[in-house]
A and B are shown apart, each in its own frame.
Chain A
Amino acid sequence: MEVNRDGIVHVASRLSIPHLKSLQKNGSWPYFAGNKPATEPTVICSIACRDDDAICEGALNFLMSIRNADGGWSSGEGLGESDWNTGLALFGITRLSTELKARKKLSADLEQKTSTVYKESISKLAALRADILPGWGRTIMTAVSGPDFDYARGWPWEQNTWHWVEPTAYSLMAIKSGPMAGEERYAKAIEQAHKYLYEKICKGGGWNWGQTRTLGYDFPAVPRDTALAVLALQDQKGTDNVNNALKILRNATSGSAGGVDPLVILALDAFGEDVSQIAETFVQDYKPPEYSDENLVSLGYGAMVAGLSGGTSNGLRLA
């Protein structure tokens, strides 16, 4: 790590993989240094550091160790019933095990464990889909259309509540990056989740958290949520919905790159856009937060962008 003459870690080095690795403990990362391990930062930071075999193994073992009895994940160990973290954790497990396997570093034991966990938990993930129809409505539609009746729906933050864009994005990435995306049950879930996302496109394109219009007010798109949605729609390249969203993201990169959400850069890169300049500017302009503690999820995404700048592949790009 570079240390300047005042003894302060050079800010650009905060986005470095060595710095990120130094914040890892027992295979996991917390939201803030010194806090307890948590699912989301562990997934994001381990993907950023996936070039390291020990990091991958540590994170895989940690994620599997905190899996709930029902097959899903919550925000951390012992933090209640399975929720939106299930999609994120499964995406992480797939990404890391694929990485190790590509390098021929995935042990037979770990491969067997991660494969079993994936198969069990993907079923739980599918079961977590939001169910917004009232009971009588579902009964009627199932009676009319048959037992395979389904409708446009995504995933909720918490079980048995409404669907939203961000948890839907993680869940789609988890299914699409895994070995079971082609199975009928999951293919249908993907199709319906796509329909849900398309219903939630904001006026003018792009996405926000999932609220397009309320009481006559049109909510605008938000770059971060738009980035997450398109990352989940990487297999829909070339469609109008995605193209319109990419325009929103390109607009979000104009001006100071230091203010750009790293997810925006990662999303544009996932669609083959040249982000070399913006990524380099992002790294050069990066400053740790001035008013709050450094959030390791943001740092993880930032390190992924720094990796792009250094020639590393995009950790959020789906196969």
Chain B
Amino acid sequence: MSSNDDDSKGLSRRNFLGAAAAVVAGGGMLAGCTQPLPKVPPATDAQKAEKRKADSPLAIVRCDTYDNNLFALLKPLLKDLDLPDLHGKVVMLKPNMIDVAGDRPTTTAVAAIKATYDLVTYLGAKDIVVGEGPAHNRETERLLRDTGHGALYKQLGLRFVDLNLDDLEMVDSPHGFADIKQWYLPKTAVTADCVVSIPKLKTHHWARLTCSMKNMYGCAPGRRYGWPKNVLHYKGIDNCALDLTRLIKPGIQFVDAVIAMQGDGPINGTAKDAHFLMVGTDAAAVDSTCARIMGIDPQNVPYLRAAGEVIGNVAPEHIKVFGLDVASVCTPFQPAPMFDVTGKRLKTEDPNSSSS
């Protein structure tokens, strides 16, 4: 074909280019279709060796309103949970402060953070700091103000560390699920003796749900990984949730599910009155139990499935529940758009693309 053909009998170079350009113009989706979302690979023996061996205790209490004394509700059950002694330890509280979207329940409630503070001080902690690295928004001070988190920290005399801009430490990940051999993580998170994950329970439009493990994304610093932290999606949302949890090793999980989020989480969902709190030391056990409460089968969530092999217990028979039993707090959540109520994927949209 000559370069200036307009051959009505066949595909001219111009027509071909036009068609090809149309294909390329959808390059975001095309790239996603041909660069499939990284799947969680089978766990290796080295990864499995890290798994918690003992059964995992956790506590569930009913909580209808944030006006209650949340810590008082949980205190009677703490003795059964094998919680760490925090005397002389440096503790970092890690709430969810992802963003503010009107009155949507996007972030951990102030009352839940306060209760967690009460918990760790009860366990002996005196050196307590709060750390968070919001994903999209570089206006951390505004988020602290608009969520009410800042006022609480000021009242309690707690220092807040913006994990997005903290000094970084290189952490090797030789047995990671994601193709990231060396992570650069905030010094405050890496050097803490105990990180306490305080997630808001929400559905998630890429990961199905976000709870304690997904909350560790806030420990991936924006100064290294960007705003948003796209590389974590590029290398596999599930893979990175697993690796960050395995590297940060949150020692306590305190789940705020009084008012949770359903639907198009983690930002654009709607409020769900789940009316419970959950505390445990095993992130896999806590997250999988929360999934079941929401109606999600943990085996349909790739990072939970793998967590049961490499982090802790996902199978109910190895999770000792104190307080309320799971069935009594079960409440189906409206799923995120791409999944059914059990967490099975309905359709594929590439989270690597910056727009749909």
Contact = CB atoms under 8 A, between A and B. Distances in A.
Contacts of A158: 224-226, 230-231
A200 B356 CA distance: 11
B251 interface: no
Contact of A163 (B23, B151, B337, B354): B354
By DSSP majority rule, is chain A's interface helix, strand, loop, or mixed? Answer: loop
Interface string A298-314: 00000000000000000
Contact of A157 (B141, B205, B231): B231
Interface string A114-155: 000000000000000000111011001100110000010000
Given A76-B168, A144-B20, A214-B356, A291 B160 contact: yes
* Contact residues on B (Cβ < 8 Å of other chain), bracket: 35 or more
B266 to A, nearest CB: 12
Interface in A187-235: 200, 208-217, 222, 224
A151 B34 CA distance: 18
B354 A145 contact: no
Given A158-B226, A217-B264, A291-B160, A144 B13 contact: yes
B47 interface: no
Contacts of B331: none
A301 to B, nearest CB: 11
B349 interface: yes
A158 B153 CA distance: 33
Interface stretch (B25-33, B62-70, B275-283): B25-33
B141 A290 contact: yes
Contact of A133 (B27, B184, B234): B27
B165 A31 contact: yes
A45 to B, nearest CB: 14
A74 B137 CA distance: 20
A238 B43 CA distance: 56
A32 interface: yes
Interface string B151-164: 10110000111100
A158 B233 CA distance: 12
Interface string B130-170: 00000011111110110001110110000111100111101
A162 B352 contact: yes
A151 B27 contact: yes
Contacts of A74: 224
B31 A293 contact: no
A157 B226 contact: yes
B356 A137 contact: no
A259 B139 CA distance: 11
A82 B142 CA distance: 30
B191 interface: no
Nearest to B182: A80
Contact of A292 (B23, B151, B162, B168): B162
A35 B354 contact: no
Contacts of B268: 217
Interface of A: 30-32, 35-36, 38, 40, 74-76, 78-80, 83-84, 132-134, 136-137, 140-141, 144-145, 151, 156-158, 160-164, 166-167, 200, 208-217, 222, 224, 259, 261, 289-293, 295, 297
17 contacts: A79-B170, A80-B224, A132-B28, A134-B31, A137-B23, A156-B230, A158-B224, A161-B231, A161-B234, A209-B228, A213-B356, A214-B356, A215-B205, A290-B141, A291-B141, A291-B145, A292-B150
Given A133-B31, A134-B31, A216-B337, 6 more contacts: A31-B166, A75-B184, A215-B264, A224-B139, A292-B141, A293-B159
